[in-house]
Structure 1
Amino acid sequence: MRFFNTAGPVRCSEHYCLPPLSRFDLPEILSLIDQKKYFILHAPRQSGKTSCLLALRELLNHEGRYSALYINIEMAQTARNDVSRGMKAILSELAFQNERTLGDSALCKNISRSIEDYGEDAALNVVLSELCRRLKRPLVLCIDEVDALVGDTLISLLRQIRSGYPSRSESFPVSVILCGVRDVRDYRIHSGKEKEIITGGSAFNIKAESLRIGNFSEEETKSLLFQHTEETGQVFEEDALNEIWRLTCGQPWLVNALAYEVCFKLKEGKDRENPITKALVTEAKENLIRRRETHLDQLVDKLKEERVRRVIEPMLTGEIFEQSFRTDDIDYLVDLGLITQAENGAISISNPIYQEIIPRELSWEAQSGMALNTEWYIAPDGKLQLYKLLKAFQQFFREHSESWTDIAQYKEAGPQLLLQAFLQRIVNGGGEITREYGLGMGRTDLFILWQLPNGESQRFVIECKIRHRSREATIQRGTEQVVKYADRCGAEEIYLIVFDRSKKKNWDDKIFTEDLTCEEKEVTVLGM
């Protein structure tokens, strides 16, 4: 029985999958190869890059016009600036794959000698030249995980390939595909030898194109899920299909991980007689986030980087702190898959799962210190008493906000993160929080859905604003915004929280509660 794959290259005989060669523009790639171009193929981690390269290798070797090799050079990452060690690892992988794929074992005997005779900064060039002279067909070389290399080893690799480029018609690969998370133009390589930063564009200025593997489309996502139905008879309800698409926006690993969790891990989902429902998808999503699966853990680790913070923090608060974002920061986060950028330049966090996990992880330290019982904010009939919870947060914020934001990396987003940490107990108690960010709009919106024992639900919206102008102007603008948001969500209770970051005011001036009416809707405003 096939299953949804969440680790390693896809095997269509073992996994539900989309044909790897359908994931990119195959005619364009074949045209670039025929034109003897060197080019880049990049995509976020676990998007199917390796599967695509392996399928391309098989296609080229099967057609018989080219000899194609695939090598993964991630093992050379630990060499860092030790070029000799790094090149030995790369040449070992090249020799192994050459014997495995093309049946040629000659390279295996010459690795150490090549480095000794020609030096680490020429050995790869020489070995590739010798290999191409022996082959009967032109060589296409696919190099995976190229951006895993660090420092002088990466510089040497790029320069050796570049130096062989003019000879590609006679004694060098006719086409080289460099594959990784990032476009080579964005590499900033710290050279230990040259004591400076070398850009990837200068070290590899022969790149013809940079191609990106995208996410699944909605149609592709549902096509993948339907393969499970075809093989097992287990159906996905329409709401479940739509929810998987909404939560993942087609990110390949998320689609497969969510589907695997709901169909192969959850007890109810493993019973093929049961349909896959939206509720099961929600449960599966929570499990993935709580377990911090490797893909999500790698994502969280990137949040520690300063260039990531410079982009994500304003998105969490809705505030723009600087005149403009740095273009290379935006490009970096797009390459990582953390954000998307529309044609008009607008940026957003890539999907609702990332939207949820980012603030949850950034506020984890605060959450871990909030071990409070649920009884005091849940009524006997099971209803959530959100007003009671927010009033408690108002006092909590007064007592703890300064000490917590002092140690938080995302200081400007501290109030919003602390609130979300406080409210996270709602999710842990059986509710859902949906986060919406309004970059440049000066707000963060939260939608809370609370399930009642009788099957009904409560709907709440909270809008967070940082006070910059007068209290009256901030409240007026905030109530107008939150009422529109509440109307869109069908919320029954509406809250506006105004954070006053001024250090000159005392807390008695910052703390207040007001009940207002806007467009015939009641809005509770809490200042802090």
Structure 2
Amino acid sequence: MPKWFNVAGPCKADIHYMLSPLARVPQLEQLITQQGYFVIHAPRQTGKTTAMLALAQQLTASGNYTAIMVSAEVGAVFPHDPGAAELALLGSWRDRAENHLPPELHPPIWPEAAPGQRIQASLRAWSRASKRPLVIFIDEIDSLQNETLISILRQLRSGYPDRPNHFPHALALIGVRDVRDYKVSSGGSDRLNTASPFNIKIKSLTLRNFNADEVGQLYSQHTAETGQGFEPEAVNYAYDLTQGQPWLVNALGKEVVEELVPDPTETVTVAHIETAKEVLIRRQDTHLDSLASVLREDRVRAIISPMLAGQELGVIHSDDRQFLIDLGLVVRNPAGGLMPANPIYREVLPRVLASGPRDSLPVIRPSWLDTDSTLKADRLLDSFLSFWRQHGQPLLKSAPYHEIAPHLVLMAFLHRVVNGGGTLEREYAIGTDRMDLCLRYGDVAIAMELKVWRDNRPDPLKAGLEQLDRYLSGLGLSTGWLVIFDQREGLRPIAERTTTEQAMTIGNRPITVIRG
């Protein structure tokens, strides 16, 4: 049977290329031997479910345990009705057990119990009836909310002291968030802010991404299956783009070998990986779309907005910073500060945020193209100035992050330009006080430095010219644009204050300064 790169749901060894699902989750068997109750949290599509399915099968096959992975997701539709959620969960769990365990290990008939006690009573009955120590892995636990979530966690805590004879020998909660970030609405907070009422956990574990060697191993499975090779540089580039995020690694491979290079006699190159990256970002498949959906949360915005603008992060609660790390959106830069978790996410974040302004754009004739489709920088500048003066003010209202609305509107315009066959590269980081853009279209490259002039701050012209000079030097370009968005109070309308002027950098590079 042929195998494929998997981008939907748990991996299946008979049809998917996959690495050892347990290699990236250390200590699990030791925790189970210790009768541990623990948490596994990691971003979506990193292999949590695959790993725990494999471990449950392995433990059951050993003859030493009755191990099963169940899901809490069916209870998510009853956030304020624990009784209804319990019935849905127990029905789903029975189906799961009967489908994946031998008959002699099936649970007994669930006992009668009052709402709010059914999970504890049922797990107690199953533990007593089981011929082996019972191990339960509860997936999608953080899909539960409010009274239902609190009820389930309290029942698990209440039964914990009775293990292993009268409650599961070991148990894991599996989700995107750590326990402290489970969603509740009681008490005026949307988080538990503490491990309680699951303070019985002995450890919180996460799954690491693939390392560079593992990306090569995964892609080499396709080579062994079909004969189609990957250039070493292509494998390295795939790792650089994804930083080993499992879904992205598989998605690049799938796009390349099924769509871009379906002929197995053709070797996969860096150019193929680059094209696949652009396709994934433009298409925003389910994984990328689900990441983008959290950008609407206030505590996410509080970090992503200054990151895109290059501002200081300010006072942000440590739990909020860790929340974004747990989601896989950002990582801690070894040199300091938070940054997007990988180059693909670095592109996705501003593109998603610019989608509102982009959908609000008027029809713009591509006057920046010559008859042979060559991009003319002077025409592009004229077209942008005309667009900005006419439409900039109203389009600012369509941007979801007010603090960086000008950046998002400019990027929306530039996306209209590159949709004809170019690319737009971005560089941004907390504390740099800028965003760098490089528009490439054919043989033409235009570097842009975006700065904001805020109240009680000096004109950013001097700092911008110095920063743009360094950016141009790194790109090997001789000229560029410095765009200064003036966001001080009491200004004239954008149409009246938008101007251009010429300046020179300290490296004697001629610069067009755009003030708007």
Structure 2-normalised TM-score? Answer: 0.93
Q: Is 1:68–2:67 an aligned residue pair?
A: yes
CA drift at 1:428: 0.9
Q: Is 1:513–2:494 an aligned residue pair?
A: no
| Secondary structure of the structure 2 residue equivalent to 1:244 | helix
Separation in 1, partners of 2:247, 2:476: 32
Whichever residue aligns with residue 246 of structure 1, its letter is D
The 3 A distance-change label for structure 1 pair 325 and 7 is same
Whichever residue aligns with residue 8 of structure 1, its letter is G
Mapping 1:16-95, distance limit 5 Å: 16-25=17-26, 28-95=27-94
Contact kept? 2:181, 2:191, Cα under 8 Å: no
Equivalent residue number for residue 372 of structure 1: 364
Contact kept? 2:105, 2:130, Cα under 8 Å: no
Q: Is 1:163–2:158 an aligned residue pair?
A: yes
Contact kept? 1:95, 1:105, Cα under 8 Å: no
CA drift at 1:459: 2.9
Mapping 1:359-438, distance limit 5 Å: 359-368=350-359, 369-374=361-366, 376-438=367-429
The 3 A distance-change label for structure 1 pair 36 and 105 is closer
CA distances 1:324-363 after superposition (whole Å, capped 9, x unpaired): 2222221221121111124665101112222212222222
| Secondary structure of the structure 2 residue equivalent to 1:465 | strand
The 3 A distance-change label for structure 1 pair 195 and 399 is closer
Separation in 1, partners of 2:321, 2:272: 35
Equivalent residue number for residue 234 of structure 2: 240
Equivalent residue number for residue 11 of structure 1: 12
Q: Is 1:319–2:314 an aligned residue pair?
A: no
CA distances 1:233-287 after superposition (whole Å, capped 9, x unpaired): 2122344223322221211111111110111023xx1112222222322322232
Separation in 1, partners of 2:107, 2:162: 24
Mapping 1:108-507, distance limit 5 Å: 110-111=109-110, 114=111, 117-191=112-186, 199=192, 201-266=195-260, 269-320=261-312, 323-342=314-333, 346-368=337-359, 369-374=361-366, 376-451=367-442, 457-468=443-454, 473-506=459-492, 507=494
The 3 A distance-change label for structure 1 pair 505 and 124 is closer
Return 498-507 or 149-158, whichever deviates more.
498-507
Whichever residue aligns with residue 137 of structure 2, its letter is C
Equivalent residue number for residue 526 of structure 1: 514
List runs of 5+ in structure 1 lacking aligned partners: 452-456
CA drift at 1:138: 1.1
The 3 A distance-change label for structure 1 pair 344 and 477 is closer
Structure 1-normalised TM-score? Answer: 0.91
Separation in 2, partners of 1:526, 1:195: 46
Contact kept? 2:75, 2:85, Cα under 8 Å: yes
| Secondary structure of the structure 1 residue equivalent to 2:202 | strand
CA drift at 1:22: 1.2
The 3 A distance-change label for structure 1 pair 198 and 271 is closer
CA distances 1:129-149 after superposition (whole Å, capped 9, x unpaired): 111111122111111000011
CA drift at 1:182: 0.4
| Secondary structure of the structure 1 residue equivalent to 2:138 | strand
Contact kept? 1:370, 1:422, Cα under 8 Å: no
| Secondary structure of the structure 1 residue equivalent to 2:296 | coil
Q: Percent identity?
A: 38
Contact kept? 1:96, 1:108, Cα under 8 Å: no
How big is the alpha-carbon RMSD for the aligned residues of Structure 1 and Structure 2? 2.3
CA distances 1:107-141 after superposition (whole Å, capped 9, x unpaired): 77734xx3xx3212111111111111111221111
| Secondary structure of the structure 1 residue equivalent to 2:185 | strand
Contact kept? 1:466, 1:498, Cα under 8 Å: yes
Separation in 2, partners of 1:140, 1:363: 46
Return 388-397 or 477-486, whichever deviates more.
388-397
CA drift at 1:106: 9.2
| Secondary structure of the structure 1 residue equivalent to 2:195 | helix
Whichever residue aligns with residue 237 of structure 1, its letter is E
Whichever residue aligns with residue 521 of structure 1, its letter is R
| Secondary structure of the structure 1 residue equivalent to 2:315 | coil
The 3 A distance-change label for structure 1 pair 512 and 408 is same
Separation in 2, partners of 1:63, 1:405: 61
List runs of 5+ in structure 2 lacking aligned partners: none
Higher relative helix content:
1
The 3 A distance-change label for structure 1 pair 210 and 409 is same
Separation in 2, partners of 1:494, 1:151: 52
CA distances 1:80-108 after superposition (whole Å, capped 9, x unpaired): 11111100111112222333333348977
Aligned length: 511
Separation in 2, partners of 1:185, 1:471: 39
Separation in 2, partners of 1:220, 1:196: 41
CA drift at 1:417: 0.6
CA distances 1:288-332 after superposition (whole Å, capped 9, x unpaired): 233331112212221122221111111111123x63222222122
| Secondary structure of the structure 2 residue equivalent to 1:189 | coil
Whichever residue aligns with residue 61 of structure 2, its letter is H
| Secondary structure of the structure 2 residue equivalent to 1:389 | helix
Separation in 2, partners of 1:276, 1:475: 45
Contact kept? 2:68, 2:135, Cα under 8 Å: yes
Equivalent residue number for residue 454 of structure 1: none
Contact kept? 2:480, 2:511, Cα under 8 Å: yes
Contact kept? 2:389, 2:498, Cα under 8 Å: no
Contact kept? 1:459, 1:490, Cα under 8 Å: no
The 3 A distance-change label for structure 1 pair 198 and 490 is closer
Separation in 2, partners of 1:95, 1:258: 37
Contact kept? 1:436, 1:445, Cα under 8 Å: yes
Whichever residue aligns with residue 83 of structure 1, its letter is P
Contact kept? 2:107, 2:129, Cα under 8 Å: no
After the TM superposition, which parts of structure 1 deviate over 4 Å for at least 4 consecutive aligned residues?
104-109, 194-198, 469-473, 507-510
Contact kept? 1:318, 1:443, Cα under 8 Å: yes
